[in-house]
Amino acid sequence: MAYRRVLLKLSGEVFGGGAVGVDPKVVASIARQVADVVRSGVQVAVVVGGGNFFRGAELQQGGMDRDRADYMGMLGTVMNCLALQDFCEKEGIATRVQTAIAMGQVAEPYIPRRAERHLEKGRLVIFGAGSGMPYFSTDTVAAQRALEIGAEVLLMGKQGTDGVYDADPRTTPGATKFDDLSYDEYLARDLKVADATAISMARDYKLPMVFFSLDTAGNIGRVVAGEKIGTTVHA
Ligand code: UDP
């Protein structure tokens, strides 16, 4: 394996298989892949998105206050965490969910040193509720958590796209995929696969990011083994 400790970001879209809510079949398949990686001895922490339930920006367009809408977004991520935890435990992997908003009945609070201890014991750690703060994205939280727990790489698992393109391939025929991209070029081109705050945080602390597709089974294992798939964003 190419890495000892990784932070995997799973977009909310992944959990819903493109629809609103959680698709148990899709989550079971992701859990199987994550469990295989954990069993191979790599320490894995996951940051879970929530776009399959609520995005603050969309609720704001519907007339809600942004900060309350963002809290709804963060609560949505926790449901995805519990679904992922459930299927990972069915795979026989010990897991802990830690949330940035306290909810003692369902999860531990976010305690980074305890998270590291879980990882050292071979447990999968799933981070939910974003940063606990409105106006952030779970991409930015993924960069922050990766840095705080000392992950060597931030793996950005995506649904419906297999990397970073120079334009949106769904709307721009002939859009070109990058194999490698610098943080500066990503920001200069104003690309939107992850938000600029996440990319600039990764740039400031030299955290490499790999964007790859979760639509092909086994890709999480491939990327953790160092196989060159998707797009790597680095210095
Ligand atoms: N969110 C937030 N603060 C955070 C992380 C997330 O307010 O630290 C809210 C925000 O409204 C966001 C929603 O939670 O739209 C769901 O997260 P995100 O859009 O990042 O999920 P993804 O796109 O990965 O599914």
| Residue ranges in the chain whose pLDDT is less than 50 | none
Alpha helices, DSSP H only, in 40-190? 56-61, 66-90, 112-120, 138-149, 183-188
Query: Could you identify the atom of ligand 1 that is nearest to the CA of residue 14?
Result: 25
Q: What is the pTM of this model?
A: 0.97
pLDDT of residue 232: 98
DSSP at 165: B
pLDDT of residue 17: 84
3-state secondary structure of 220: helix
Q: Contact 122/131 with Cβ under 8 angstroms?
A: no
Ligand 1 centroid – CA 152 distance (Å)? 23
Find the helix packing angle between 196-204 and 138-149, rounded to 10°. Answer: 20
Residues with CB under 6 Å of ligand 1 are 11-13, 49-51, 55-57, 70, 73-74, 77, 130-131, 133-134, 136-139, 141
Ligand 1 centroid – CA 192 distance (Å)? 14
Ligand 1 centroid – CA 174 distance (Å)? 30
Return the domain boundaries, the chain: 5-234
Angle at 28 between CA 107 and CA 194, to 5 degrees: 70
Reported CATH class of domain 5-234: alpha beta
